[in-house]
Amino acid sequence: MDFLLEYYLWILVFHIVAVMSWMSMLFYQPRLYVYHTEHKDKKDFVEVVKIQEYKMYKYIGMPAMWASIASGILMIALQPDMLKGDGWLHAKIFFALLLIAYSFSLGYFMKELAKGNYSKKGSFFRAYNEVPTVLAVLIVGYVVTKTFSLSFTIITLLIGSFIIYKVLKQKPKEKKS
User: Could you report how far apart the first and last alpha carbons of the chain are, in Å?
Assistant: 65
3-state secondary structure of 16: helix
36 annotated as belonging to a binding site for a ligand: no
Biggest alpha carbon distance in the chain? 67
Contact 56, 106 (CB under 8 A): no
- 43 is known to lie in a ligand binding site: no
Q: What is the tally of helices (H) and strands (E) in the chain?
A: 7, 0
From the annotation, which residues make up the binding site?
15, 92
Which residues are annotated binding-site positions for heme?
15, 92
